[in-house]
Structure 1
Amino acid sequence: MAASLRNQYQTATSSPELVYFRQATWRLYQPVASVLWQAFGQEHRLRPGLTFTPFANAVRCNAHCAFCSEELVRHEGHQLTAKRLIDDYPAYFQRLRAVLLPFRGFALGLSLSGLEATAEPRWLRGLLACLSGLEAEGVVFDEKVLYTNGSGLATEPSLVPALHGFGLSRLELSRCHDDEDVNQRIMRFNRNQPIWRNAVYEATVRGLHEQLAVKNSCILTQTGIATLSDVERYLAWARGMGVRQVVFRELSRLEGSYLPNVFTDWIELNRVPIEPLLTAVAPTLEAIRPGWQYAGSTFGYYYYNEHFRWQDLEVIFETSSYPALQAANATGVLQKLILHSDGTLSGDWDPDSRVLSRVPAPSLDYYPSA
């Protein structure tokens, strides 16, 4: 099984082997040996290839996706980072330096995510400048990915060359449907965001290709893209914008790991499992749907991907499990580093879980619940 720092890739050579991959999914991931690392006065076990996320939360998110993971509440209690805004940028960037310098020389993947990083261009430019300075001091990012709904790229196109100059590996651009009205029912952009309109979205995407690698990300939902004919129509639309890589993601499997609320209810009601889609594309290796080619499978510590070619596009179907993610975290090996907007560095999306370093941050304020 071929392995990278972050996952393992294998190509099924027989139909029974492909069935086995699909049944076992992320359970086939073979953890690599952890690395002992001194930071903040303690020894930590790090997973080679772990990613670092400076949680983007300078302003409220400008979309209100019906599946938002930041609205999920764990049974044991969960402090939502999304409820705290960053309102002192110099203090935040000083803290960012303090938490990353101890990891100089350890290769990190940079995952720019959280809420919507492009919603506050001044903060994002400051973030890129701070991270570039840290690279000059020996902090190593071997991959840099921005997960975005594209809103700020439409209203502040100067962000595109800034991201290019930073050396962004790719931009994962979220869009849940090729029809703007259907997409709006799922992603629920603020109406003052031009990106909700297809004409703006399409023009924005076409303008990205000269400077950034673009990967379209589509969450599968009963409300939106649910069938193979939906998938192929979406792919034709993406191809028309010059996109050459698309991932279709199943809503992450919760399996009772979060308290019921309107978001978990929506997720379970709208879930589209990938298994029927995989069967429709490739019931066996000998009977693959015309126009499609199986390329291989990826095993991560909490996700499974199946890779195909459709015309000249790379197409990925992905499924993932929150319980598998939490089980990996429970091993004591740090799988991820997250700088939360209250100044806490933790190994979990919960700022009160697996804390590595915490400082008082009086300038980082809560906003009231809606």
Structure 2
Amino acid sequence: MTSPRNQFRVAATSAELAQFRRDAWRLYQPVAPVAVEAFGQTWQLRPGLTFTPFANAVRCTAHCAFCSEELQRYDGHQLTAKRLIDDYPAYFARLQAVLRPFRGLPLGLSLSGLEATAEPQWLRELLASLGAAEAAGSVFDEKVLYTNGSGFVLSPDLAPALQDFGLTRLELSRCHDDEAVNQQIMRFNRNQPMRHNAVYAATVRTLHQHVAVKNSCILTREGIASLPDVERYLAWAAGLGVRRVVFRELSRLEGSYLPNRFTEWIEAQRVPIEPLLAAVVPTLEEPRPGWQYAGSTFGYYYYNEHYRWQGTDVIFETSSYPALQAANATGVLQKLILHSDGTLAGDWDPDSHVLSRLDAPAAAPQP
């Protein structure tokens, strides 16, 4: 079974599962690209690629120790995370313009970047603008919001707005079931109530009334690091009504980024996924009690294993930034990103794989 974005297979034997784990994303088979005329030239697009309007209206409400927006490649130029959107009408006019050439082409919508809920008015206008694009012929066959959830505390109207928009799911970041440990990793601003477990729990229960909630937990040595940790976290999440959880290994950098305190923290805190997978299902014939293997997903730079545990869908994920960059280097666009300076690019670096800079809205440096 496959989707426009990845390939799903179920290992039939323990030997095949071992191969999946060994080769991971390298087993992904690229599909034939789609040619699209846009901005004066022909572009090759990976079918099912996602569109990201980079969320950067205000600074993030947390300062996660693993933040990918603080990483800079050796061949990188600038970071979108360092610029703010300060002209909403111009930005949303630009959004409509960059989507126009891709009308009728199914795209995934990935609402990510910094924290989309941190500026509720921007998110409301974003949803309205994207809704207008859909009415004009844009097709978003999957809509996902990646968030730390902070904005829902003071702006609970965002949840029904996302429901009305038709959000497929909300991926809610939480790195530990103990709020003190979670704070050491996610580092919410002091004025953010979401740092407290009681507020988090109440928010999750409210979100359930409007959208599908999937917990996202980054594996770290000081946080969730072992299978008993995983099972404790799952029991805690289930107590909040969460029935889908992903545990992500910190993305493998493999020396492709300039050293800084974030790369140092990532490498020091990395919890490799392989020992956890071996503990869950050493072989298909002898899984850990309570765990059932459901299949594996292969993406162009990531690999997932899917399980069921006491009524909860559990995913373990590993990914490689060098593999992502290698896919970008093929000349086939893997993703579309509208950066906060108005640049439409096929890369997280707004100066790389640029499709268009026309009519770019003004953006202001962060203080």
Q: Which moved more, 1:152-161 or 1:112-121?
A: 152-161
Give the match for residue 186 of structure 1.
Answer: 185
The Cα shift of 1:125 comes to 0.2
Give the match for residue 298 of structure 1.
Answer: 297
How far, CA to CA, are the matches of 1:137 and 1:361 in structure 2? 21
Question: Given the superposition, is the C-alpha separation of residues 329 and 159 from structure 1 closer, same or farther in structure 2, using an over 3 Å criterion?
Answer: same
1:4-57 C-alpha deviation (Å, 9 max, x unpaired): 100000101111011000001000000010011000011000100000000000
Give the match for residue 93 of structure 2.
Answer: 94
Question: Given the superposition, is the C-alpha separation of residues 362 and 307 from structure 1 closer, same or farther in structure 2, using an over 3 Å criterion?
Answer: closer
1:32 lines up with 2:20 in the alignment? no
Q: 1:193-204 to 2 correspondence within 5 Å?
A: 193-204=192-203
Give the match for residue 206 of structure 2.
Answer: 207
How far, CA to CA, are the matches of 2:162 and 2:283 in structure 1? 41
Aligned pair count reads: 367
SS in 1 for 2:223: coil
| One-letter code aligned to 1:177 | H
Give the match for residue 217 of structure 2.
Answer: 218
Question: Given the superposition, is the C-alpha separation of residues 361 and 48 from structure 1 closer, same or farther in structure 2, using an over 3 Å criterion?
Answer: closer
1:144-196 C-alpha deviation (Å, 9 max, x unpaired): 00000000112211000000000000000000000000000000000101000
SS in 2 for 1:285: coil
How far, CA to CA, are the matches of 2:345 and 2:51 in structure 1? 10
SS in 1 for 2:84: coil
Give the match for residue 169 of structure 1.
Answer: 168
How far, CA to CA, are the matches of 2:216 and 2:72 in structure 1? 24
How far, CA to CA, are the matches of 1:362 and 1:159 in structure 2? 25
Gaps of 5+ in 2: none
Give the match for residue 314 of structure 1.
Answer: 313
Q: 1:58-73 to 2 correspondence within 5 Å?
A: 58-73=57-72
Q: Which moved more, 1:72-81 or 1:302-311?
A: 72-81
Q: Which moved more, 1:358-367 or 1:88-97?
A: 358-367
SS in 2 for 1:264: helix
How far, CA to CA, are the matches of 1:274 and 1:77 in structure 2? 28
How far, CA to CA, are the matches of 1:367 and 1:197 in structure 2? 27
Give the match for residue 118 of structure 1.
Answer: 117
Q: 1:228-239 to 2 correspondence within 5 Å?
A: 228-239=227-238
How far, CA to CA, are the matches of 2:362 and 2:299 in structure 1? 37
Give the match for residue 273 of structure 2.
Answer: 274
How far, CA to CA, are the matches of 1:265 and 1:235 in structure 2? 28
How far, CA to CA, are the matches of 2:87 and 2:134 in structure 1? 23
The Cα shift of 1:360 comes to 5.6
SS in 1 for 2:330: coil
How far, CA to CA, are the matches of 1:291 and 1:361 in structure 2? 53
Normalised by the size of structure 2, how large is the TM-score?
0.99
1:270-318 C-alpha deviation (Å, 9 max, x unpaired): 0000100001110001110001100000000000000000010000000
Give the match for residue 107 of structure 1.
Answer: 106
Normalised by the size of structure 1, how large is the TM-score?
0.98
Q: Does the CA-based 8 Å contact 2:94-2:359 persist in structure 1?
A: no
SS in 2 for 1:3: coil
Root-mean-square deviation (Å) = 0.8
How far, CA to CA, are the matches of 1:18 and 1:262 in structure 2? 36
Percent of paired sites with the same residue: 77
How far, CA to CA, are the matches of 1:359 and 1:96 in structure 2? 11
How far, CA to CA, are the matches of 2:42 and 2:153 in structure 1? 44
How far, CA to CA, are the matches of 1:363 and 1:208 in structure 2? 34
Give the match for residue 325 of structure 1.
Answer: 324
Q: Does the CA-based 8 Å contact 2:65-2:265 persist in structure 1?
A: yes
Gaps of 5+ in 1: none
The Cα shift of 1:219 comes to 0.2
The Cα shift of 1:210 comes to 1.8
Give the match for residue 136 of structure 2.
Answer: 137
Give the match for residue 158 of structure 1.
Answer: 157
Question: Given the superposition, is the C-alpha separation of residues 44 and 262 from structure 1 closer, same or farther in structure 2, using an over 3 Å criterion?
Answer: same
